[in-house]
Amino acid sequence: MDIANHISETGFIFNNGNILDLDINDLQNWYEAQYTARIQNSAYSNELFMSEAELLHDPVCHQLVSNIIDSYGLSNKDLYRLDKLWLNTSNHDFTKRTNTFVDTHYPHIDKTRHLKVFVYVSDVGPSQGPFHIAPCNPGRYEKIRLRCKKTKIGDNLIPDISKDQFISCHGPAGSVIIFDTNCPHFAGLIDPGKQRRVLRLHFTSSMFKLMYNERRLRSLWNLYGHLTS
Ligand SMILES: O=C(O)CCC(=O)C(=O)O
Ligand SMILES: [Fe+2]
């Protein structure tokens, strides 16, 4: 599949099901162990940032990320380069939080553009806050994004888009979503008592015209870059 072409036309891919043939039990155990052990020390309330060292040296992490990159052809230096990996657990209370720069539960584009890959680690039904996206040519929103101010709250919200343009991506653990953050998207609401676990990978691109941590990109590239080509 030519991922760059596909993304530039419709902005996203949703593979409902365990497309990467992951051992879901292993994945969930690994996720839980990482998350439980370290979330207290995380700078973020519901997510854990995997460091460059972990991406380079944790064997489970490495195998998983390699599998994703390889399966989708995400190792073309001129197109996409791995930047970050997050473990994200959202729940109902988190939905009610305030005072964030972007409320992810409203249709928005991201101020910092990425290609994001979500791998659902838990089953995500309609009541577990499925990711929603309005398919589009991501170029369409680039002007709007470039007008956004880093410090201004809400200027990346896209309010004038009807809810029925959004696709609700619900699916079992292992389902994969890949999207350009220039397509309007939002996180669905989570019912009380339910949680949603997602692995989130961020890829940068020279097309996105941004400053990145070149040193980190380079070391990750050295490990993951050769995979598909
Ligand atoms: O968690 C979600 O479903 C969406 C989060 C979001 O807006 C993002 O990752 O850019
Ligand atoms: Fe977003």
Encode pLDDT of 75-91 as tens digits: 887 789 999 999 999 99
Query: Is a pLDDT exceeding 90 seen at residue 93?
Result: no
Mean pLDDT of 34-54: 91
Give the pLDDT of residue 117.
Answer: 98
- The answer, yes or no, to whether any atom of ligand 1 lies below 6 A from the CB of 132, is no
* Residue 228 pLDDT greater than 80, yes or no: no
At residue 98, the pLDDT reads: 53
Task: Identify whether the C-beta of residue 197 lies closer than 8 Å to the C-beta of residue 89.
Answer: yes
Q: Give residue 200 CA to ligand 1 midpoint distance, Å.
A: 9
Query: What ligand has the least distance to the C-alpha of 109?
Result: 2
Model pLDDT, residue 49: 93
Q: What φ, ψ does residue 31 adopt, rounded to 5°?
A: -60, -50
Pick the CATH number of 3-224 from 1.10.10.60, 2.60.120.620, 3.40.190.10, 1.10.150.120: 2.60.120.620
Closest approach atom of ligand 1 to CA 114: 10
pLDDT in tens, 153-185: 888 999 899 999 999 999 999 999 999 999 999
Domain residues of the chain, as ranges? 3-224
Whether ligand 1 lies within 6 angstroms of the CB of 104 is answered as yes
Residue 210: its pLDDT value, please? 67
* Cα distance between residue 139 and residue 149, in whole Å: 19
Of the candidates 228, 180, 220, the one whose C-alpha atom is nearest the C-alpha of residue 83 is: 220
Percent of the chain with pLDDT over 70: 93
Q: Closest Cα to residue 181, out of 126, 142, 227, 220? A: 142
Which ligand ends up closest to the CA of 88? 1
| Residue-level pLDDT at 99 | 47
The pLDDT > 90 percentage for the chain reads 67
Asked if the model's pLDDT at residue 101 lies above 50, the reply is no
Whether 181 is in the pocket of ligand 1, judged by its Cβ within 6 Å, is yes
Predicted TM-score (pTM) of this structure: 0.93
Amino acid at 181: T
Q: Does the beta carbon of 46 lie inside 6 Å of ligand 1? A: no
**Hunting for tokens 């089953």 — which residue is that?**
123
- Mean pLDDT check: name the lowest of 56-70, 90-104, 145-159, 178-192: 90-104
The residue whose C-alpha atom lies closest to atom 8 belonging to ligand 1 is 104
Q: Is a pLDDT exceeding 50 seen at residue 212?
A: yes
Element (H, E) at 80: none
Average pLDDT (147-155) is 85
At 96, the pLDDT band (50, 70, 90 cuts) reads low
The residue whose C-alpha atom lies closest to atom 1 belonging to ligand 1 is 187
The per-residue pLDDT for 213 is 75
For tokens 């599998």, name the residue. Answer: 67
Minimum CA distance residue for ligand 1 atom 2: 187
Q: Which of 104, 114, 148, 175 most suits a substitution to test ligand 1, by most atoms within 8 Å of the C-beta? A: 104
Which ligand has the shortest distance to the CA of 110? 2
- For 11, residues 6+ apart whose C-beta sits below 8 A from its C-beta are 133, 135, 136, 137, 138, 179, 180, 182, 183
Q: Specify the 3-state DSSP secondary structure of 56.
A: helix
| Residues found in the chain | 229
pLDDT value, residue 52: 87
Buried b (16+ CB within 10 A) or exposed e, 177-191: bbbbbbbbbbbbbbe
Q: By mean pLDDT, which of 57-66, 88-97, 114-123, 124-133 is the weakest?
A: 88-97
pLDDT of residue 102: 53
Q: Is 142 strand, coil or helix?
A: helix
18-30 mean pLDDT: 97
Residue whose CB lies within 8 A of the most ligand 1 atoms, among 185, 186, 194, for a mutation test = 185
